[in-house]
Amino acid sequence: MVDADQQRHETGPRKIVDVAVGVLLHASGAFLLTSRPADKVYAGYWEFPGGKLEAGESIEQALSRELQEELGIQVQAIERWREELVDYPHALVRLHFCKVTQWMGELEMREQQHYAWQQLPVLVKPVLPGTIPVLAWLASERHFLGTTHSDS
Quick one: pLDDT at residue 7? 40
SS3 74: strand
pLDDT confidence of residue 2: 34
Report domain extents, the chain.
4-141
CATH code, 4-141: 3.90.79.10
For position 6, what pLDDT does the model report? 41
Report whether 81 contacts 95 (CB < 8 A): no
Structural Rg of the chain based on CA atoms? 16
Mean pLDDT by 10 residues, the chain (152 residues): 42 85 97 95 96 97 98 97 93 96 97 96 95 96 95 67
Query: For position 144, what pLDDT does the model report?
Result: 96
| Beta-bridge partner residues of 94 | 18, 85
What pLDDT is recorded for position 4?
Answer: 43
* pLDDT (0 to 100) of residue 12: 59
